[in-house]
Structure 1
Amino acid sequence: MDLQDQLKNLFPEHKPEKEEKPKEKSTIWLQDDPIICKYEKRKGKPITILEGYTGATSDFKKLAKEIKTKFSVGGSFKDDKIIIQGDLRDKIMELLKEKGFAVKRVGG
């Protein structure tokens, strides 16, 4: 007998309420044009590059920091591009789609 059954026995008239998680409101400006996610090799090492964001630079830097901490990877922000170490295109694209961004995959 699990906890739910025990509670139903103790309180037969009680109807449990379904808890809804509030959607996370993104503070980052979402654009209509897709962010370009591409793969390159520099000095023999794979990197993922995100470019094409037209919002504020500070928002793009916040996004870069969030990606680096979420996936525990190194990276940098240079010339309005986020450069992430490793080939993480699929994971990054999934994260950006969850946030509401349109993403376009380039290069393979």
Structure 2
Amino acid sequence: MKEIFNNARLGGAAFPSSHVAISLIALFLNRKYNKYLIPIYFPFTITLFISTVYLYAHYFVDVLGGVFIGILFYYYVPPQYEMFNKLSRKLDKKFSFIFYK
């Protein structure tokens, strides 16, 4: 056991795996906008998840963190972006006399 774990060193692994998060977001966006690409894109996404652990690029928990971050960003960021745009438009109307003379 000691020899196995001493040889399994990760170089530059980071939590969470941004590659996993971005590929998952891209998969979700393809599901939303280009459904015909899902059968092509899905195997590549799963292969990326598995290969990052298999090739010792990340620990398994890094992949889980990437999945969590990907899901969080996909569902949380668009509503926040819309809320920010609405607030920005309100403030722009309210203070336009200051910024636009």
Q: Same fold (TM over 0.5)?
A: no
Give the structure with the higher percent helix. Answer: 2
TM-score by length of 2: 0.32
Give the structure with the higher percent strand. Answer: 1
